[in-house]
Amino acid sequence: MNDILQSVICSNRCWTSKGKVATYIPELSKGNPDALGIYVITCNGEEYSFGDFETKFTIQSISKVVTLMCVLHDYGKEKVFQKVSVEPTSDAFNSIINLEAKNFHKPLNPMINAGAIATVSMLNGNTPKEKFCRVLKFMRELAGNANIDLNENVYLSEKITGHRNRALAHFMKSTNIMDGNVEDILDVYFKLCSIEITCKDIAKIGAVLANNGVLPWNKKRLIAKETAKIVKAIMTTCGMYDASGEFSVSVGIPAKSGVGGGILAVVPNRMGIGVIGPSLDQKGNSIAGIKVLEELNKKLNLSIF
Ligand code: DON
């Protein structure tokens, strides 16, 4: 497996120069556009890696998966899906148009910014700090890494520049999709996006989903099988934003990207995969990361379809 990972990283490095690191959050522009790395954890607990897998990056939208797991676990699907639907959008992750025009103002799914902000508003906790810690603690358990923490500089950069997310949140407040104080909810959302991780951490989260909610390394159940199933289904249809259909055809596995350059991918009953490549395509997905997963699919027959 290590040889296969070496081969897919080496043959796709050239793609890193064809994209750009995110700059709309100024602190993200410091990401290394040349980095490319992969980490794989199987459902038997075996670990494989190659390339720049030790590169630290912020989780960004991949946190949406963990927030969704938390609210489904705490409230159940009926309550969660009253606030947010599960339909793909074919629009950009930060698009505002559908909130007014479609679906009775309800965000279309929890993987776009509007839907994630709505799920953050549901998190258990009396204060923004408690809500943030609910997800951080759960993420640490999923990844088996007590050192996962906030990148303060990215958080402040997001908070200062997050006007688009403010627009989404205030709109949802005006249509009664969201309860609570808008700035408090956004503060939790910005912090969750700014958690610093490596592709080993996201591979571990992926391995728990692949293993139907059970930690492969100690057999402890963290979430119900049904929750893991719902999350994987939504990742498959919505996780790569308006490139989710294309990704389903070319790779065919549940996955979630973030503008920090990470991709968390799940091969059900087989493995969790974490990829880092901060150079992004026009839709905000890691340009080389997708190519790596496409080639890995060809070599290991990963597609669930
Ligand atoms: O809200 C934002 O714009 C970012 N914190 C997260 C967006 C993101 O990761 C989209 N991913 N491809």
Ligand 1 centroid–CA 216 distance in Å is 29
pLDDT, residue 90, reads 85
Is 39 among the catalytic positions?
A: no
Calpha distance 218→133 (Å, rounded) = 23
Q: Would the CB of 258 count as within 6 Å of ligand 1?
A: yes
pLDDT, residue 243, reads 95
Is 64 among the catalytic positions?
A: yes
pLDDT, residue 105, reads 86
Q: Would the CB of 58 count as within 6 Å of ligand 1?
A: no
Q: Would the CB of 239 count as within 6 Å of ligand 1?
A: no
Is 189 among the catalytic positions?
A: yes
Under-50 pLDDT residues of the chain: none
For tokens 């669930």, the residue is 304
Closest ligand 1 atom number to CA of residue 284: 12
Burial of 73 (0-12, 13-18, 19+ CB in 10 A): middle
Ligand 1 centroid–CA 5 distance in Å is 27
CA 100 centroid distance within chain: 25
Calpha distance 85→103 (Å, rounded) = 8
Q: What is the pTM of this model?
A: 0.97
Closest ligand 1 atom number to CA of residue 60: 9
pLDDT, residue 92, reads 86
pLDDT, residue 257, reads 98
Q: Ligand 1, residues 113, 155, 240: which to mutate, most atoms within 8 A of Cβ?
A: 113
Is 120 among the catalytic positions?
A: no
Concatenated DSSP letters for 192-229? HHTEEE-HHHHHHHHHHHHTTTB-TTT--B-S-HHHHH
pLDDT, residue 209, reads 98
Nearest-CA residue for ligand 1 atom 7 is: 61
Q: Which of 8, 39, 40, 61 is catalytic?
A: 61
Burial of 248 (0-12, 13-18, 19+ CB in 10 A): buried
Ligand 1 centroid–CA 299 distance in Å is 30
Q: Would the CB of 93 count as within 6 Å of ligand 1?
A: yes
Closest ligand 1 atom number to CA of residue 113: 1
The order of strands in the sheet holding 37-42 is 47-51, 37-42, 271-276, 262-267, 255-257
pLDDT, residue 102, reads 86
Is 259 among the catalytic positions?
A: yes
Ligand 1 centroid–CA 87 distance in Å is 18
